[in-house]
Structures are given as structure tokens and as C-alpha cells.
Amino acid sequence: MEQRLIYHIDVNSAFLSWTGKERRLHDPEAVDLLTIPAAIGGDSSKRHGIVLAKSPAAKAMGVSTGEPLTSALKKCPNLSVFPPDFKVYTKNSAMLMELLYSYSPVMQQFSIDEAFLDMTETIHLFGEPLETADTLRTRIADELGFTVNIGISSNKLLAKMASDFEKPNRCHTLFPEEIPKKMWPLAVGELFLVGRSARAKLALMGIRTIGDLARTDLALLQSHLGVKYGAMIHRYANGEDDSPVEPEEPENKGIGNSTTLSSDVTNFEDACQILLLLSETVGARLRKSGHKCSCVTVERRDADFRNSSHQLTLPSPTCSTSMIYDTSVRLLRELWDGAPLRLLGVRVTKLDEPEYEQLSLFPSEENQKQEKLDKAIDAIRERFGAGAVKRASVLSAELPATPKNPSGQKRDGH
């Protein structure tokens, strides 16, 4: 069987890179955000929100993704905070995906700032794997104005691990024969999907490196970590992964967005702010596509890699950001068991063309007003930039009434 060739492309500090690029378009002298203590988060003047991304300089000051801005600003008083701008992120992400698609039709967008390419059938058109990846990396920097890391291997897991090696703006290989030298000496926490809770359990078992994990008896792992999860990370530690590169389903079947945080989110209000940002992006894409949705789904993953989702069918089709967000908050409230969150996603499905939708005999006047308002906001942002209009809930963090944090934990300072 022919060995597969997989690339994993990961944008370096995507949100900060894309925000900085947008600033330089308006002011060529604008400082590079990756060279100063900077973060993407909520409103620094009101000290609300959480850190969604941070620069290397901010990281050196102890700032971590997912922590409250109040905590980050105590650690780093000179932290420059910029509001999230998902219109800019979506635009740059789309540009990246379009360029990647020219290298292979078999592409899977893994998140807004990373993707897998199956180059098995097309590499002969370009040259040697490492040389081709380096050319692609250079093209992205020259043509799109930001940098990426590219990992190269025979499966998705190893390609993703390789892309996390030395950063930024690098290409790395991690083929099966390179695992003992390049992967096994790494700390076990560097292995994909080994979270904080699993690290603690593995440490108690004397497992410190990925190599230790690879050599551990599978039955012993499963007795401590569970049958499914224990088997999965044991396979990963040995570089085993046969999952295919799966192109995203056609947009007419659904529109979604998700974000993975490098630090756990345990506070319900913080989780709601993330849902609002995701709902903004999904709602804007929904309206741009000319569709309305009848179903909203919230997906979540906890620190122990447990995935779950919850969905709700709406009483009538909508493209309202507020309706999507309010529904998402309700779904998360019902879904979340309090375990620390690592991923949140919002997805809308059952899409209808507006001209073909079945009109309600009693359409909601409030819903119609909200949809008109959303479209007006879209038009203003399209003309003047995403920062021209901000929702009050983003500025003041006044979220819908919610019960106490389901985890029963107070906000910690990380």
C-alpha cells in the first residue's frame, strides 16, 4: 500500500497575526503585535472578558489563554489588548484555505487557523515533500502576509505533532521512523489530546515522556484512564492514526465554528462570551449565504477529551445572531456538567433558502426586527470594519441571566 503524505498547516499566533496585519493595512508603521506584550480579548477599558490569544512576550509574563483579563493585566500591566474581530479572522482563514486547495482537493479545515492536506495523489505535481512544503510556507508569507508552520508525515496525528515543533515560520517532518528521536523524548503533555487531568494521572504512574507512555502496558493504562481514552493515547504515543483527511461538508448542509483553548474554561460567563463570538461568526456567514437555519447545536470537549453535543430545533427559521446565541447559551446550560472546557463550537443546520421557507402564520415581530438589525450591522462592518459596531454584551459583559456556574467553582486567577 502506498504511504500517505499528509501536511498539517497551522497559522502562527493567528488572531494576533491577523489583527496585526489588518492594522498595518491602515498604518504601515503599526508595531508588530508579536513583538510586544499583546493579547486578543474583551474590553480592556472595562477589564471584562478573557484572553483568547497572547503574544510570546505576554506569555513570558505569565499570561495564559483562557484566563480573565483582570488577571492578565495584573501580571502584565502594559499588556496591549485588542478586541476579537472574527470578520478579519474569517477573511484571512478563507484566503488561506483557498490557497491550500490549489495544492490538493483533499483538504480538511481543522479549525479557523489550521488545516490538513492529503498530498498523496498530488505531490508528484510539485516536487519533494519538504521542498514543496517550504515553497507553500513562503507563498503564504509573501502572498497572504502571515506565517505558518507546516508538519509533514504519513498520518494526521504525526503531521500535527510535527507542526508544533520549533516555531514560527518553519517546516518539520515526523515520519514513523523518526518517532523515537523526535517525539518520544517530549514531555507526555506535548502529545495531542493529553490534557491536564490525564497528565496528573500519568505522573502518578511514573509516566513523564511520550516514550514512557508508548512503552506502558495498555491494560494498565486503561485501568487508570478508561478503556477508550487509554487505548487512544497509547496509539497516539506510538504514532498510530488511520483517520482520513475529510473535506468539510458542503455549506448548504450546515455552517459552524469552533475554538480550542489552550487553558481550561471553568466559568459559565466566560464560556458564554466565547459562545457569543462564535455566534457572531456563524450568524454573519449564515446571512451572507442567504440562508436561515432551523436547528442550533452546541459542541463541547472537556480537559479529558470527552466530547458531547446538544441541539435544539427552533420554532421558525432564523438568521439572527441573537437567536443563535440565546439558543447556544440555553444548550450549554443543559449540556455542561461543570468539567473544565477545552473546546466550544456552535453549528447551525437544516438550512432553508429564504424565498422557499414556509412562512409562519404568526411571524415573530421581534425576530424580524433582530434580523434586520443584524443585516444593518453586517453592512456597517463590511464598510467600516468589524470594530465599528460592537454588541453591548461584548462591551459590558452583560450576558443573559444564568444560573450559578455549573461546576460550582468561582473564577480563579489561573
29-64 confidence digits (pLDDT tens): 888 898 999 999 866 555 567 888 899 899 999 998
Active site residue 114: yes
How far lies 372's CA from each of 58, 86, 321, 346, in Å?
40, 20, 11, 22
Could you please state the CATH topology (level 3) that the domain comprising 251-396 is classified under.
Dna Ligase; domain 1 (3.30.1490)
Angle of CA points 188, 190, 196, to nearest 5°: 70
What cell was used for 49? 472578558
Nearest-angstrom CA–CA distance, 38 and 336: 31
pLDDT at 372 over 70: no
C-beta atoms surrounding 6 within 10 Å = 27
Would the pTM of this model clear 0.95, i.e. be above it?
A: no
Domain boundaries, the chain: 1-180, 184-238, 251-396
Q: How confident is the model over 65-74, as a mean pLDDT?
A: 88
Residue 68 DSSP code: B
Nearest-angstrom CA–CA distance, 132 and 326: 46
How far lies 227's CA from each of 223, 224, 232, in Å?
7, 9, 9
Return the CATH architecture of domain 1-180: 2-Layer Sandwich (3.30)
Catalytic residue among 67, 114, 280, 371: 114
215-248 confidence digits (pLDDT tens): 999 999 999 999 999 999 999 999 999 999 988 6
Residue 112 DSSP code: T
Query: What percent of the chain has a predicted confidence (pLDDT) above 70?
Result: 80
Q: Which helix (H) or strand (E) holds 349?
A: strand 341-349
Return the CATH architecture of domain 184-238: Orthogonal Bundle (1.10)
Nearest-angstrom CA–CA distance, 73 and 57: 13
Q: Which residues contact 3 (CB under 8 A, 6 or more apart)?
A: 120, 154
Which residue has better confidence, 207 or 42?
207
Q: Report residue 258: phi and psi, to 5°.
A: -145, 160
- Banded pLDDT at 277 (limits 50, 70, 90): confident
